[in-house]
Amino acid sequence: MNYRHLGKAGIQVSELSLGSWVTFHTQTGVKDAVDMMGAAFDEGVNFFDNAEGYAHGKSEEIMGAALKKLGWRRGSYLISTKLFWGLHDNPNEKNTLNRKYLIEGINGSLRRLDMDYVDLLYCHRPDPTTPIEETVWAMHSIVESGKALYWGTSEWEAADILEAIEIADRHHLHKPMVEQPVYNLFEQHRFGPEYDAVYEGQGYGSTTWSPLASGVLTGKYKKGIPKDSRGALEGYEWLQQGLLDEQRRAVVERLEPIASDMGATLAQFSLAWCLQNPSVSSVITGASRVSQVHENMKALEFVDQFTPEHMAAIETALAGGVPRLT
């Protein structure tokens, strides 16, 4: 396993990490979480991602219980969680980044994780109804309190990230250090030219999600939706149209020979492609069983095998674009 600095921060994260979205509680319980996290850790993974909104808080509970059983030394791993969606249907407790919610939110996450602090705390989405300055001050307070060590953003526009950094610099506050954007062969917009000032100018890190486009970039949806896939899960019907999109299927057909030429599966190829971007600190993978963890980790064998010819072939395969899934 190789490790990259989280932007300009002092901590290093494994190039591949393990997230709990969709899987923890929805597909797996504590025992499976222990097995998958243990397998990832043995492969060198040191970063595990979660969020308050995943399975309505149950994902955090499962990860916390798994960590207790695993008994790892706290300094040996990094845990993140994210706040925005909320768990209660009240005006100040959902779809917001107001100060009250953020303080209550981190306290709730720490209770569910059964931890004293998280390493990374993200604002899970932007909140146009709360001044960015209020959010920055609240996140600074959380870091100052020791309940989170670093904070960041997820799916924020470049201009909003830069505004948050400017506010923090002006008031000598803890500033955001990392973005968590969607990033895969289909969806590259969060690394568009407007983000150059964020990643290159500010030295922002990134922990990217959905590297396999919810499984499309494994090739398993070419003939429909398998019964054991996330596309078949109750509550994820909204994914189905994107999973079965004909344009996406056609691109998959064009990408498969490139992956095969490299000796990789399409999934391993797609994960390794994400790490060609020097602004990516870690690629968050997902798994519902241990075998998937090991298969995903094999992607690291192909990171250094991309040639200019491969990259040109990828651009040709993607020509014309594809509709976003997220």
Catalytic machinery residues: 54
What gap in Å lies between CA 186 and CA 197, rounded to an integer? 23
Sequence-distant (6+) residues with CB within 8 A of 205 are 5, 6, 7, 8, 9, 13, 152, 177, 178, 179, 279, 281
Answer whether 96's CB lies under 8 Å from 118's CB: no
- Exposed (0-12), middle (13-18) or buried (19+): which is 76, by Cβ within 10 Å? exposed
Specify the amino acid at residue 60: E
What gap in Å lies between CA 222 and CA 151, rounded to an integer? 38
What gap in Å lies between CA 184 and CA 8, rounded to an integer? 23
Beta strand extents in the chain (DSSP E only):
3-5, 12-14, 16-19, 47-49, 78-83, 118-123, 148-153, 178-179, 205-208, 282-285
First to last CA, the chain: 29
